[in-house]
Amino acid sequence: MYLDASGTGFAIVLLLLAAASFLFWNDSLRARDRMLQTCSRMCRELKLQFLDETVALTSISFARSARGWPEFVRVYSFEFSGTGQDRWTGRATLAGRRVLSVQLDHPQGVTILGAGAPVSPETLRLTRSAEDQRLH
């Protein structure tokens, strides 16, 4: 079989495109798994129910890291409940491998955990009044 220079170049470009697609797919699976663990942990710490045990990718974009390198910024949405009879929406933002923030929307107001700083277990403290032990 005879391949000319243009056919070889096309094959190399196709191979590079396939490799880049695989790397993006693999990175996306890892990011989704990271967000599943984070949202599940946060709901457990805040004594909320993490509904459907899933997150959905809402948006993806590019941004620069603190070191100036380009990285993907992914925003995921998820649903949670305070009583089991209600359903609220939350959003979590992941930049590269860092969880930037988690936002919980509920009738008492919006709770934003992290707000730019990486989310850690210390960030998960939610103060509630004594008369309102559950969110609704």
Task: Burial-class residue 74 by CB neighbours within 10 Å (0-12, 13-18, 19+).
Answer: buried
Stated pTM of the model: 0.74
**57-67 pLDDT tens trace:** 999 999 988 88
* Spatial distance between the Cα atoms of 1 and 3, rounded to a whole number of angstroms: 7
Pairing mode, strands 109-113 and 98-106: antiparallel
Percent share of the chain, pLDDT over 90: 42
Q: For the chain, what are the domain ranges? A: 5-124
Give me the pLDDT at residue 79, please. Answer: 94
Q: With 60 as the cut, is the pLDDT of residue 129 above it?
A: no
